[in-house]
Structure 1
Amino acid sequence: MSDKTYLTKGGYNKLKDELDDLKTNVRQQVLEKITEAKSHGDLSENAEYEAAKEEQAQVESRISTLERVLSTATILDEKDIKTDKVYILTTVLLKDLDRDEEVEYTLVSSEEADSENGKISVKSPIGKNLLGKSVGEIVEIKVPKGIMRYEVLNIKVK
């Protein structure tokens, strides 16, 4: 049985759009590549055919993954998210106690994670350790580089 996936409405729509594009456009484009490669003759030594078949496998795998994620998704409404503790979809202001710097993260599902925009997965080492914490708590997070220490300064919903 697969885990439930929590998504924002925007995240759900983005994945749904990707699925629709894969099914209606990309799948057809890959089939055209396979047909073209087949027309070149001997398939046993046809690198173009092998590449197209590999691409087809990747596309079908992604379609399967998206269908699974979307079928188990629960869409969270940000107005229903509490800010007494760190939950999925909360934005957390932290003080890095080792560097004396402030950082801000929004906790999201793995499917919506985007570290460049401060969105980290609740399944990441930082996300896992922040869940359930309250303002004022000190969090020690074991990461490959060592132990990171943060103080939770603020919790909000953007």
Structure 2
Amino acid sequence: MQDDTPELTKEAVTAWAQLVRVSQAVLTRVEGDLKKAGHPPLAWYDALLELDRARPDGLRPYRLQERMLLAQYNLSRLTERLAAGGYVEREDCADDGRGQVLKITREGRKLLREMWPVYRQAIEAHFASRLDADEISALSRMLVKLR
């Protein structure tokens, strides 16, 4: 049986490994900056931002997970913590008596505003300042292709 799959080059494997390693390293640095400033993890910001964008209707938990920037393997634990902190409220879903809708609270919007300057600075320090405008544009185009 003949395999028609194109050959995977060593360079492609190396580039893949670098992409994963760089992504993890940058996220670790951003998380460290947030922690140093006394803020919760980036996943909190990510979830709150998506809920803020969904105002006033909120989002069902599965929709929130689809929109999140970061992979969130335990969304229920994250939303429990956000709700316990008063940053998110749950409402019964009108369309589905068993389901819930998550909505950001005033405290959640306040936390977003407090976290953004630290997050913005981390993006600048660990990403944007290391590339020029042309490189950022080229990287963006490549990542869109991969998506």
TM-score range, shorter chain: under 0.3
Task: Report the TM-score when normalising by structure 2.
Answer: 0.26
Task: Report the TM-score when normalising by structure 1.
Answer: 0.25
Structure in which a larger fraction of residues adopt strand: 1
Structure in which a larger fraction of residues adopt helix: 2
